[in-house]
Structure 1
């Protein structure tokens, strides 16, 4: 079974600055100060929503000047530059984010090494989750098919130390398949029809079980003996193939080749490949829907979180990855208590919804997925997390909300939460698993409501 990673609650803002920075500035980060930062971030996001970019930039600059390593502010800044056509500045901010993330990971890794090999393994897994999350985010940031294919193929080549990536989309209604390829410099293209026999063989291998295939030494693999000439011509020393499955139907195939070195694939590389492949097929499907209906959106306009339609697509991909890699997955529903009383005016209700969305999103580790399900109800996907830990995580979120969000009259806002773990052991159809998981998590939420609210239920 894949090693379980316990998503850690976000550290308070005091820990976001460089070592010793707070002491040098004689700063004391109090809960009130954290509340002010959250309020500032929510206000900045609202300015972005209404395209008041100068005001948003002014607020974000204040936060970044005070907390140079506070990543949510930098991510919002990069988003503004991207929206306003300043791609180079956005890329510069993203490089800063990657650098800071690496520095923080190294600092955490050093602590883990001091704490023993078990902690080091957890940190190694954590870094893998963050790498996967970064790739997935970049893929979902585009609605255009050509860009999704380009980003997906290039990111897989880079992240897997591969040389060539081929994405094959099977034609519908017996139409011709379409192929996209990305190669490193100096690596010849294989899209001249000469590799069709090899690709067909690999497609046949994965089509029955819908499981990925990894070959560490292609020249010596007996199942590929009939394609030895192709392997030698394109110098394919190692390869992986993963089926693209959408709603239980095979719709394509992703291949990666190693040509310049003959090393095999590590467990982490196999995990990254299959996980990212599961999200690529969802992104491709979304782009096709956009082509058919230009009004299709994947985010909720008020909170900036994913919307219900995209959540259902994403949950399907996450469940398939969990089943393939044999790791647990939990789902949590959150509902704001007494929301009708809180939202006596639309502005008051919108402010609470936006602030709750921001708090939940920024207090979960990378790899988690947050969406607005309906009205005052939110949903969280927690991959690689068992029920007991998911309960603790969501109870931590509940306490943060109660301490941080208040109504216009100063009363604390509270939430009720229901949590359930997916039943993947029985190898049921994943559509059935998804439907049951949503239903059971909702039932847990209703139990929390009936018990007096301000509670987390997972039984």
Structure 2
């Protein structure tokens, strides 16, 4: 079957779902189809991940609650069924009301680990005729294959996400930082929209680590990571650069804007209380920050990193707990 080839050719969920709906619409001459899915088991509702035969405005706000009686019914009856038939068995159901408005005729539940996590829905056929039992069986087989494939694709994406995540701070790791900085540098080269980079280092961290122990030091890094995520803009990219160093990629930001954000970060961390921070030389947990920007200071991602790191070194050399912008005199 052509669908099986599609399933095993790739693990990307969006491409997979699109291929599934195209296959179903073609094989069963359906005028429309929906792929409704929750994505993660702890989500309380499902939403449309892909559709065929609908305008976007018709389905963009469609949400089905997992607590709906429809999904309670499917826990005991996992076979594809017509909407009219399941309405008689379930009775009042907001999910069925919404699907009926979209002229859906066939519902096939997607199970992951014995839980209903989605639905494949088919609209009316081009030629008005009922689905036969063999056809419903065929839809059931397709749904089961897709359930396995979507589960594998989800696991793949989760593993891929973990490979780009620092385990201790839950920030992006250095590998992800390198990839994204190169991407953003190329974007800047095309659009000349600006790009800045901040690198920061925890002041006298070794002193704190030696006196309080590594678990306490790790907690300091985790807390700083939280402060960074709360302080940056939504589209900024925060990563653990290594050890007690962090990096923040600022797409579409010039040097002036980078300076404002760097100073805001410095102040936020200085004002944050840390356990036993009085043991530090200046009585507080603080950070030093250096930053540089494209195109003023560099033309490539590698050079931008070098310039921001150079500015950080100057911040530490000039007393710590301060922000330094790169300037050409630093390398002369």
Report the TM-score when normalising by structure 1. 0.36
Greater CA radius of gyration, 1 or 2? 2
Report the TM-score when normalising by structure 2. 0.49
Counting helix residues as a fraction of each chain, which structure ranks higher? 1
